[in-house]
Structures are given as C-alpha cells and as structure tokens.
Amino acid sequence: MNLDFTREELDFRQEVEEFTRRELPPNWDNQIVFWPGGYGTIPIFETEFQEVAKEFSLKLSGKGWARLAWPEKYGGEASVMKAAIVGNVLSYNRAPAGGVASSIVAPSLILVASEELKKEFLPKIADGRAGFWLAYSEPNAGSDLAALKTTAVEDGDDYIINGQKIWSSGAHVTEYAWALVRTDPDAPAHKSATLIIIPNNASGVTIKPIVNICDIHSFNEVFFDDVRVPKKYVVGEVNQGFYNVMLALQFERLTIGSGSFRRVLDELIQYARENVRNGRPLSENNQVRRALVDMAIEIEIFENFYWQSVCMLEKGKVPEIEASALKLVFTELSVKLANTAVDILGPYGLLDKDSTRAPFGGRVGIGYLDSISGPIGAGTSEIQKSILATRGLGLPRQ
Amino acid sequence: MDFELNEDQRILQKSARDFLKKECPKDLVRNLADTDPGHSTELWQKIAALGWMGLLVPENYDGIGWSFVEQAVLLEEMGYALCPAPFISTTILGAQTLLMSGNEDQKRGILPNIVAGDLILTMALTESDGGCEPSALNLMAVREGDKWVLNGIKLFVPDALTADYILCVARTGDNSSPEKGLTIFLVKTKTKGVNIAPLKTISKDKQYEINFNNVCLKPENIIGPVAGAWPAINAIINMAGLARAAETVGVMRAVLEMTVAYAKERVQFGRPIGSFQAIQHYLADMWVDILGARSLVMKAAWKLATGRPSDKATGMAKIMVGKAGRKTTTTGHRIFGAISFTMEHDLHLYHRRSLANDPTLGNSDFHYEQIAAGLEL
Ligand SMILES: Cc1cc2nc3c(=O)[nH]c(=O)nc-3n(C[C@H](O)[C@H](O)[C@H](O)COP(=O)(O)OP(=O)(O)OC[C@H]3O[C@@H](n4cnc5c(N)ncnc54)[C@H](O)[C@@H]3O)c2cc1C
C-alpha cells in the first residue's frame, strides 16, 4: 500500500497546472456554470463555447495529453495514471476538455474496433477534429436500453439507418454519433444490437434542440431517416453492440471531472470565511462547519474510489463493479454538495447566472438544478444499485 | 500509487481470520458479553503468542515493529469476529502512550510484559462531561511533598477491571489554557483508593467508573512531561479512535456477509427476498458504505504509518465509520426481520459492537472540530 504520487507524477501535475493557468482564457470561469457530477452544464456541449473548447483541445493535443492512456502504438503513453492527473487538474479548473470522443469512444475503439477504424478515427480524436455524441437512449429505451428500435438494414456495402435518438448531449456541436442500432429485428435484444459510427452530416440526419431545466441547450433529439452509412463504420462485431456499449459505459462511469468536487468545497470554505451572517462569519456557525466537514469526508471517499479505479486500470484490470460504485457515489455526492451549497448561501443560492449579486456567478443555483441529472444520466442510481447487488453481491435477479 | 495490501499484510489477514474463526466462536463472544470482567485469559494468551500485542511495539521491546496499516488489517478481522479482548486498550491506550511519552525505564519495565501477554493496560480519560476535549478533563492531582495525590471520578474507562495498570489523565496546574496543565499518571489498579465500578451499557462492552480517592503516587509514576501531556493524549485519542473504526469496518463486513447469505435463502412470495429490489438496494448501499469506510480507515492508517499529519484523516474515518456502522447494522436488522430482534440471533451482538465504537474515544464533536480546523474553517 502506498497512497503517494511519485515525484514524477507530482512534477507532471505541476506542469499540467501551469499549462492550464496559462492557456485557459482569463475570463473563462465567469462564463460557465459547470456543476460537478451533473450532465446538463458541461460547457463542451454548448454552442457558445465551441471556439474556446476547440482551441484549448488543440493545445492539449499538442502536448500529447489527450491520448496519454492510449497504447504507444496509437501515439499514447499507456498511462492511465497520467491521463487521470490531467483529468483531475483540468476538471478542478473547469477547463473545456475531456469530451465523449477522447474519454469514451477512443478507449472503446482501441479495445474492440478494426485497425482500419482506429487508423481513421484515433488521430482525429486526439487533436479534437472528431467530436462524438452518444446515441443510445430513445424515447422508449432509457434504463431498458434493450428496447431500442432504431434499425440498420444492410444494403450492399452500406447500412440504412432509421429511427430516433433522444437526450443526445452535444449532438449539435460534434461530428459523429456513436450509435447503438438494431441489426437483427428477429433476434432477442441482446443479440441484435450493433455499435456503429454515423456522421452527423450524412443526409437524413436531423438534430433538434431540447432545452434542459438549467435553461441550457445541451442535449437534443435526433432523427435518422434513411441514413446511409458504410459497413466499415461498424465498431466491433455485428450484433455484439450491447456488449460493446457495456464496455464503453464503464469508461463513461469513470469520466467524472474528478477535481471539480474539491474545487467547489474549496470555494465554499472560502465563502464561509469571508461572509458574515447574524454578526459572525459563517465559518463560525456550527451547522455550516459540520456541513462542510461532512462534504469533505464524502469527497475524500469519492477520491479514494476514483484513484483506486485508476490504479486498477493502470494494472490492466477493468473496474466493472467499481465503475458502478463510483458512478453511484459521485452523482449522489453531486446532489448533496448542491444542497449543502444552497443551505450555506441562503437566499443567495437562488440567484441566477445573470445576476450581479450571485456568488460564484450563479453556479450554485444552476448547479442545484443540474445535480438532479447526475443520478439519472449514464444509468440511474437505481440501475447502479441493482448492478452492485446482482453482479457484485450475487443476489438473484428478479 | 497502490491501494492493495502487500504479501505480508495478506498473510496476516488470512491467518488472523483463520485463527479467530477457530478460537473466537460466537458462544465465547456471548458468554463474555454477559459476564464481568468479560475477559478470557486463555484467548488473551493465544493472541499474545501470535505476537499481536507487539505488532506496533518496536523490536527492542520484544515487539514486531510493524505499522498501523498492519494493525488496521488485524483490527478489521477482530471486529469481524467480535473478538472480546482489551486489545485496543492495551496496545493503543497503554503501549502507544508509553512509547510516545514514557522514559526508558518505564518502557523497558512494561512493554515487553505487554507483548508477552502478561500485562493489560487502559487509560482513564473522560469525566462527567462525556467528551475528551481538554476542558473536560479536570480530575486533580496535587503535589504533597514528594507525592502526588489524585482525587476525582473518571467515567467510561474501558476494560478497567481486567487492567493491571491505568493511565490516568489528571490536571496538575498551569491553568493558562485547557490544553496546558495535563499530566499522565501510571496507576496500578490495585493501588489503595482506586475504586472501580462497572457501568452497565446497552452495548455490553466493558466500561467502568473509577473513583480516585486520595490515591498517592510517586514522581516515577508520571509518564511524560508534567503539565504537558495534551499533545500525546490527542495523538492517542486519534489512534484509538482509528483503531475502533478499523474494528467497525470488520463488524460491517460480517453483517453484510450474513445478511446477503440470508437474503439469498429466505423465501417469501415464492422467491428469495434478495430478488426484491428494495432489499437489493439496501444491500448495495451497505456495500458501498463498507468500501468507503475501509478506504478512509486505510488511508488514515497509512498516514500514521508513514509519519504524515493524520488527525484530519483519522477524524474522517472515525466520524464516517461511526455513522455507517450503525446504519449498516440497523439495515441488517431490517432485512432479517423479526428473527434478528431476538437475543438468540447474533445480529444484535454486531449492532452493539458498532454502537459501542462510535461515541467513545473522540466523539463526533471532537473530530468534527479537529477536521474543521484542518480545513481552516
Ligand atoms: C442531462 C442528461 C444527459 C444525457 N445524455 C445522454 C446522451 O448523451 N446520450 C444518451 O444516449 N443518453 C443520454 N441521457 C439519457 C440517460 O442515459 C437516460 O436518462 C437514463 O438511461 C435513464 O433513462 P430514462 O431517463 O428514460 O428513465 P427511465 O429508464 O424511464 O427511468 C425512470 C425511473 O425508473 C427507474 N427504473 C427504470 N428501470 C428500473 C429498474 N429495472 N429497476 C428500478 N428502477 C428502474 C429509474 O431508475 C428512474 O428512477 C442523458 C440524460 C440526462 C439527464
């Protein structure tokens, strides 16, 4: 047991911190309201931040930091630890980085895709030219993804795709769908789905905005009408899509902006020290002290889980149960942190991002709303608990 | 970075598990819980023979000289088995205080005997206020010629009736601040004027009230600096609190194991109750709590082991595990149903242990304040 970072890792962290301070636009933090563990305030899914995000990810890839976890063969360093350090520092600074492409699509491609697909997409992902969105959910296929209806029918060298996806975060600001579709209407659901890449600019793709409760256009509904996609865009094997998506979901559940929780805690502590209520600094109020200590404890546990999963990946193990536990813990923590922040700020917690009086640029109020999405997205808390109980503890399925 | 136990630690874990399974069955736990002083000399001697008492004691005092990481591994197993022994009292409250503050004669005189299993120690800290902040410690020791005379009452002293020595924290002057003026005295339990009475607890652990009535001690009974013992006491509270948390993680693990087994086997409505989602989700929550609890305990243990500042980490473990231990055992009862509400069933034994470990040796007020200070609040 050794919970220290190595000298080399600490130096690397320092380098990433300096880079981030230098390269982030000076006013960046005041423009965005990103809340840890939420899925509705991620700036890289918003149109207005695309320019900054693209510029920043080019600089990141210039450093080689977008592909640190990839095998050397594909230009990486095979270091999950270094990738996690980058993710940790960037998310502490709420930097516009770490999209679906680099954190979910790329590791999945590396594990299951053909060499041809890897050659085509990995370099584009590394320098931010190929952005992806996740096309899993449909109006009638949420937790029960196996109920999906979007079809792909063979036609010569192509597939013809028809159907609808929904809650498609970032579909309007990216280039490709990472889509789960049905390739065999007769087989049972788990043996009939295929993972395929669909270019957004293919004819027949229609993307319509949906505004979330934070008043942000981050997700969409997407319609596929006779969309023609070459067969070579199938990821992994045909009819093995479910298995491949489960793999990708593990990466998704680990993609969590690990540093962003501590950032909010640090800010709340500072706020409590600098603001007076009832004649005393908030930091001397016993309830505030307790609430912040409780948050510090939960963040400590979350970080332990996080680095533990990183160490597992570093050793070549795939954290399955661990990914579910981590996803459950950090999204529930997101809700508790938001509630704690609202309690501490009192009426100031209600102020919206346009209000000049809003502490933290309105992040707390919006964050409170966004924290609702954490335990819903990427597999609900209920689904995670069922995974832990059945796959982890071996309890009988219903 | 590496969260896993090394080879030696895994061997220790396995051998402790095997030993306790054999030597510490539930009927022994039950018998000792219902008697006073509730101590098995036989079990104690066997534990000593395994070297456990000397795990944290350096080799030059006959110990093994391992670290708190190994101690935590061992304690989790002892908690899992509900091992009834004055182990934390002796190895932490006693031996660690001596190691930290004792002079060479005191260490040589006592530590090898602790390691051999021949001496049991404890510490008398808490008084009527129930806490262990410096301002709550007011039992007086007054100097009369070449003697010190102790008068006052200590409460919630663990394992006092089995102990050969009590380390009594007393106030000896310098009242400029509550932290100042505290001194540790080594008191033979048999000394004239030491009156020990059991405190009957629902947790069925062994806690006592001690009345010090004109207890006369010599200067060589003082451990560490006169009127300067608080830093050592503070460190001991943290270590002992962490030890209790480590034990509770074992208790939680046992409860989860037995509850999962029951949920797979108990049939209602024609199917195992473990197939009901309400039950599954309770169990998933218990499991996640255990993983979180262990991660905090091991991190704090590692910090102690490597000489890093550890008060904040220790407090986090003590607070979280205290709450989670009670929650886990309570949920266990819920899942077992009425059968677990009987004296005959074992679950209440686990519940009592996790409860006992929570408010003692640094209650949550103490640790909350310590962490808040660490966060610069
Ligand atoms: C902000 C946000 C962004 C998202 N982005 C994307 C995206 O980019 N791409 C994408 O594909 N999807 C995305 N999603 C969708 C997300 O994956 C789904 O919301 C999620 O899988 C749950 O599906 P649902 O919302 O249809 O809820 P439902 O599945 O209808 O669930 C409703 C309730 O029923 C419970 N429930 C359902 N089944 C069970 C069961 N078996 N046992 C117990 N309880 C059950 C759920 O836990 C929940 O409480 C996003 C969602 C949000 C909120």
Burial class of residue B33, CB neighbours in 10 A (0-12, 13-18, 19+): middle
Pseudo-torsion of CA A329, A77, B5, A318, nearest 10°?
50
Same domain, A56 and A77: yes
Is residue B194 located within the same domain as residue B137? yes
User: Can you say how many angstroms the Cα of residue B175 is from the centroid of all Cα atoms in its chain?
Assistant: 30
B5-17: average pLDDT: 97
Which of B227, B250, B271 is where one domain is finished?
B227
User: Which pLDDT does position A248 carry in this prediction?
Assistant: 80
Residue range A32-41: mean pLDDT, rounded? 95
Query: Which tokens is A206 given?
Result: 């229609």
pLDDT at A128: 84
Cα pseudo-dihedral A211, A217, A219, A222, rounded to 10? 80
Q: A256 and A162 in one domain? A: no
Q: Which pLDDT value is given to residue B334?
A: 97
User: In sequence order, what DSSP letters do the residues of B163-175 get, joined into one string?
Assistant: -SEEEEEEE-S--
3-state secondary structure at position B121: strand
Token look-up 């979350």 returns: A302
Tell me, what's the pLDDT at A331?
96
**Does residue A376 share a domain with residue A263?**
yes
> Could you write out the DSSP letters of every residue in A212-240?
-TTS-EEEEEEEEEEEEEEGGGEESSTT-
Q: Which of A56-70, A181-195, A245-259 has the lowest mean pLDDT?
A: A245-259
Closest Cα to atom 27, ligand 1: which residue? A142
Would the CB of A169 count as within 6 Å of ligand 1? yes
* Alpha-carbon span A187 to A123, nearest angstrom: 36
β-pairing verdict for B165-171 and B121-124: parallel
pLDDT interval class at A92 (50, 70, 90):
very high
A317 and A235 inside one domain: no
Q: What is the tally of structural domains in chain B?
A: 3
The whole-number pLDDT of residue A319 equals 85
Residues B93 and B155 in one domain: no
CATH number for the domain including B328? 1.20.140.10
Taking the Cβ of residue A141 and every Cβ of chain B, the question of whether any pair is shorter than 8 Å is answered with no
Write out the residue range of the structural domain in which residue B139 sits.
Answer: 122-227
Tell me the pLDDT band of B304, cut-offs 50, 70 and 90.
very high
Report, as an integer, the average pLDDT of A197-215: 97
Interface residues on B facing A, Cβ-Cβ cutoff 8 A? 1-6, 9, 69, 256, 260, 263-264, 271-272, 274-277, 279-281, 283-285, 287-288, 291-292, 295-296, 298-299, 302, 313, 316, 319-320, 368-369, 371-372, 375-377
| Complex ipTM over 0.95 | no
- Phi, psi (deg, nearest 5) at residue B240: -70, -40
Mutate to test the pocket of ligand 1, among A42, A138, A140, A167 (most ligand atoms within 8 A of CB): A167
Domain match, A298 and A327 both:
yes
**Is the model's pLDDT at B248 over the cut of 90?**
yes
pLDDT-derived band at B307 (thresholds 50, 70, 90) equals very high
CA–CA distances in Å: residue B175 to residues B182, B223, B363: 9, 20, 24
Is the same domain home to A150 and A117?
no
Which residues in A120-263 belong to E strands, given as ranges? 132-135, 151-155, 158-166, 176-182, 193-199, 205-211, 217-230, 234-235
A104 and A160 in a single domain? The answer is no
| Domain membership flag for residue B238 | yes
Task: Answer yes or no: do B260 and B328 share one domain.
Answer: yes
Contacts of B291 in chain A (CB under 8 A): 305, 325
Identify the CATH number of the domain in which residue A198 sits. 2.40.110.10
Neighbours of B197 (CB within 10 A): 11
pLDDT bin (cut points 50, 70, 90) of residue A98 is confident
Closest alpha carbon to B125 in B197, B204, B210: B210
Instruction: Please name the amino acid found at residue B305.
Output: A
Tokens 């009834």 identify what position? B84
Residue A255 has pLDDT above 80, yes or no: no
Mutate to test the interface with B, among A3, A285, A309, A331 (most CBs of B within 10 A): A3
Residue A225 counted as domain residue: yes
- For residue A109, the enclosing domain spans 7-130
Note which residues in 305-334 of chain A have CB less than 8 A from chain B: 305, 307-308, 310-311, 325, 328-329
The CATH number covering residue B29 comes to: 1.10.540.10
SS3 state of residue B171? strand
Give the pLDDT band of residue B175 (cuts 50, 70, 90): confident
Q: How would residue A318 be classed by pLDDT, with cut points 50, 70 and 90? A: confident
Whether A125 and A187 map to the same domain: the answer is no
Q: Grade residue A320 by pLDDT with cuts at 50, 70 and 90.
A: confident
B342 and B266: one domain?
yes
**pLDDT, averaged across chain A:** 94
Q: For B154-160, what is the mean pLDDT? A: 96
* Whether the predicted pLDDT of B242 surpasses 90: yes
Tens digits of per-residue pLDDT, B204-233?
A: 889 999 999 999 999 999 999 999 999 999
Looking at the domain assignment, is residue A1 inside a domain?
no
Q: Are residues B107 and B128 in the same domain?
A: no
Distance A179 CA to ligand 1 centre (A): 16
pLDDT bucket at A235, cuts 50 / 70 / 90: very high
Rounded to an integer, what distance in angstroms lies between the CA atom of residue B7 and that of residue B78?
20
Distance A166 CA to ligand 1 centre (A): 11
Indicate if B198 and B288 belong to the same structural domain.
no
At B3 the pLDDT is: 95
Our CA dihedral for A300, A303, A307, A308, rounded to 10 degrees, sits at: 70
Q: Does one domain contain both A332 and A312?
A: yes
Give the pLDDT of residue B35.
85
Tell me what the mean pLDDT of segment A5-22 comes to: 97
- Is residue B332 within 8 A of residue B259, CB to CB? The reply is yes
Residue type, B338: A
Q: How confident is the model at residue A188 (pLDDT cuts 50, 70, 90)?
A: confident
Instruction: Tell me the per-residue pLDDT of B102-154, one tens digit each, with 9 for 90 and over.
Output: 999 999 999 999 999 999 999 999 999 999 999 999 999 999 999 999 999 99
Residues A142 and A55 in one domain: no
CA of A108 to the centre of ligand 1 (A): 22
Locus of tokens 């950090």: A330
Q: Report the pLDDT value the prediction gives residue B17, as an integer from 0 to 100.
A: 98
Cα nearest neighbour of B303 on chain A: A3
pLDDT for the residue numbered A8: 97
Q: Which residue has the tokens 């809700």?
A: A335
- For ligand 1, say whether the CB of A380 is within 6 Å of any of its atoms: yes
Q: How far apart are CA A298 and CA B5, in angstroms?
A: 23
Q: Is residue B2 part of a domain?
A: no
Q: Which of B83, B103, B119 is the last residue of a domain?
A: B119
Spatial CA neighbour of A148 closest among A184, A198, A104: A184
User: Do the domain assignments include residue A68?
Assistant: yes
Q: For residue B34, is pLDDT > 90?
A: no
The two structure tokens encoding residue B162 = 């089995």
**CATH number of the domain bearing residue B141:** 2.40.110.10
pLDDT confidence of residue B360: 79
| Residues A202, A285 within the same domain | no
Does the CB of A304 have a partner CB in chain B at under 8 Å?
Answer: yes
For residue A301, give the nearest of B260, B295, B376 by CB distance.
B295
Residue B313 covered by a domain: yes
| Residue where one domain finishes, among candidates B89, B119, B149 | B119
Nearest one of B175, B178, B185, B109 to B147, comparing CA atoms: B185
- Given a contact cutoff of 8 angstroms between Cβ atoms, the answer to whether A122 and A75 are in contact is yes
pLDDT in tens, B278-297: 999 999 999 999 999 999 99
**Mean pLDDT, range A37-54, rounded to an integer:** 95
Nearest chain A residue to B294, by CA: A301
Domain count, chain A: 3
- Residues B240, B368: one domain? yes
pLDDT at A177 over 80: yes
Q: Flag whether residue A300 sits within 8 Å of chain B, measured between CB atoms.
A: yes
Verify cis geometry, omega within 30 degrees of 0, for the bond prior to B37. Answer: yes
Contact A261, A330 (CB under 8 A): yes
